[in-house]
Structures are given as C-alpha cells and as structure tokens.
C-alpha cells in the first residue's frame, strides 16, 4: 500500500524567506505527482503536476522536483509571502493511474 | 473555465435522513472523483468514475451511493449516516489521457454534519 509522508508537519517562517517542503512515498511505481495548497475549510488548488518521466516543474515562485527512484519530491517556494500561508499537500498517482494518494500535509505560516 | 462546483456548501442531517451531494464540471473531463476529508487529515479517495462508469470503490460503506448520470455531473447519495461520517466531502475531475490521469481539479467541498 502506498504511503506518502510530508516533513515538516508545520512550518513558520518570516516573510521573504525561501523554503523547502518535503514529500516522500514508499512505492516508486507512480505515474505522476501533484502538489496542492488548501486554505482552511476550503477545497484544494492544484499548484504543479510532475509526470513520472520529468525531474522538475516550475510555476512562478514555485519549483517542484521529483526523484522517483528514491521516492522523494520537494516543493521550493521562493521569497515567501503571507498569502502563501496554507496547508500544502503532495499526492501521487498509483494503481492504474487515476488513484491519488495524499500526503500528510505541511501547514505553512508566513509571518510579516 | 477550470471550475468544479459543489452543492450544497453546508449540510446538516440526522441519521435517518436521505440527502444528496452534487458536483458539476464543464471542462469536458471524463474522470470524476469523490474524496472524504476529516479535520486536519489529508483527503481520502472514496470513488472514481471514468467515462461515467464506476472504476474504483475504496471499500466505502453502502450508506454512501455514488451516481454519475452524465459526463458533467456526479452525485453522492447519503442514507442512514453515522456521526463519524461528518467531514468535508470533496469532488474532483480530470482528463483521462491514454489511461493515465492529468491534473485533478477540486471543488470547494460540502461540509457535512451528521447529528
């Protein structure tokens, strides 16, 4: 059974700091990996999708990398802002391609 | 338009009630999903529909009954729920390309409370 873990569980940083969120998964036979953000009580917003054949994806201040063989992905956020405060979830596609398993999440707070 | 809509936003029901959650997308996606999310936990997959056919049921109790009447609509019928079923229910949709999935787009969720 695929298990996805995110470290740290919570993170508080001052505005402007660059930061890295970590995601690890136990079964490397994934189709792709997706990073989401979730604001309290809200749905999920997709940030980046990395295909299993890719090493990284970039969108604005966000950069996600994937090392499939070691079962790891990182989300790099540059020049963090208070609006980045949210819970960040990674999720991997396994089991025929349309089964998404979520990580435990990292709750990020960016302070002024 | 990358929007997935869900109604209602909030639902309170008794254990003997029958209610339904509705999800709609107009992106032409042929895969639709139901997830359940408890407080401070990640979403857990419940059901997957692919081309309007149920392709995955994650051993969900029969008091939850999904329905996909057409490619744009997904319903979740609820009957005889338990208080522990109280959660945020999220709907999502995606393209299905060559048997693999594309980005999943999520709706805002329905906050369900079972009394």
- Among B6, B101, B107, whose Cβ lies nearest the Cβ of A93? B101
Compute the average pLDDT of residues B43-58: 92
* List of chain A residues whose C-beta atoms are within 8 Å of the C-beta of residue B45: 99-101
At B70 the pLDDT is 93
Q: Does A40 lie at the interface with B, CB-CB under 8 angstroms?
A: no
Report the percent of chain A where pLDDT is more than 70. Answer: 96
The CA angle A64-A70-A74, to the nearest 5 degrees, is 20
Could you count the other beta carbons within 10 Å of the beta carbon of residue A52? 15
Inter-chain residue contact A102 with B42, CB threshold 8 Å: yes
At B107 the pLDDT is 95
Position A100 confidence tier, pLDDT thresholds 50, 70, 90: confident
Position B99 confidence tier, pLDDT thresholds 50, 70, 90: low
The CA angle A12-A13-A16, to the nearest 5 degrees, is 155
CA distance A24 to A19: 17
Inter-chain residue contact B103 with A44, CB threshold 8 Å: no
State pLDDT tens for residues A31-65: 889 999 999 888 999 999 998 889 999 999 999 99
- Among A31, A34, A46, whose Cβ lies nearest the Cβ of B100? A31
Question: Is the pLDDT confidence value at A1 over 90?
Answer: no
Q: What is the mean pLDDT of chain A?
A: 93
Handedness of CA A43, B51, B48, A90 (dihedral sign): negative
Q: Which of A37, A42, A51, A55 is nearest to A92 (CA)?
A: A51
Buried b (16+ CB within 10 A) or exposed e, A58-82: eeeebbbbbebeebebbbebeebee
What are the counts of helices (DSSP H) followed by strands (DSSP E) for chain B?
0, 13
At A96 the pLDDT is 62
Compute the average pLDDT of residues B62-74: 96
Q: Which two tokens stand for residue B71?
A: 């490619």
Position B96 confidence tier, pLDDT thresholds 50, 70, 90: confident
Inter-chain residue contact A42 with B108, CB threshold 8 Å: yes
Question: Is the pLDDT confidence value at A108 over 90?
Answer: yes
Q: Which two tokens stand for residue B24?
A: 């709609």
Interface with chain A: mutation pick from B104, B105, B111, B112, highest number of A CBs within 10 Å = B104
Q: Which two tokens stand for residue A84?
A: 């980045």
Chain A 42-81, residues with CB within 8 Å of chain B CB atoms = 42-46, 49
Q: Does A101 lie at the interface with B, CB-CB under 8 angstroms?
A: yes
At A10 the pLDDT is 96
């Amino acid at each position: 059974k695929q298990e996805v873990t995110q470290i740290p569980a919570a993170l508080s940083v001052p505005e402007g700091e660059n930061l890295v969120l970590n995601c690890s998964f136990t079964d490397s036979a994934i189709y792709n990996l997706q990073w989401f953000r979730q604001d309290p009580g809200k749905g999920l917003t997709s940030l980046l999708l990395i295909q299993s054949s890719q090493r990284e994806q970039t969108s604005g201040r966000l950069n996600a990398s994937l090392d499939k063989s070691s079962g790891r992905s990182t989300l790099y956020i540059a020049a963090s802002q208070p609006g980045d405060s949210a819970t960040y979830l990674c999720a991997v596609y396994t089991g025929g391609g349309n089964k998404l398993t979520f990580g435990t999440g990292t709750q990020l707070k960016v302070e002024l | 338009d990358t929007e997935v809509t869900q109604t209602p936003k909030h639902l309170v029901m008794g254990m003997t009630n029958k209610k339904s959650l509705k999800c709609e997308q107009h992106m032409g996606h042929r895969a639709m999903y139901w997830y359940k999310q408890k407080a401070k936990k990640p979403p857990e997959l419940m059901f997957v529909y692919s081309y309007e056919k149920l392709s995955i049921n994650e051993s969900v109790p029969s008091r939850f009954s999904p329905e996909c009447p057409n490619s744009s609509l997904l319903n979740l019928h609820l009957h005889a729920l338990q208080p522990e079923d109280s959660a945020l229910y999220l709907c999502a949709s995606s393209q299905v390309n060559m048997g693999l999935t594309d980005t999943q787009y999520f709706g805002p969720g329905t906050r369900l409370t079972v009394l």
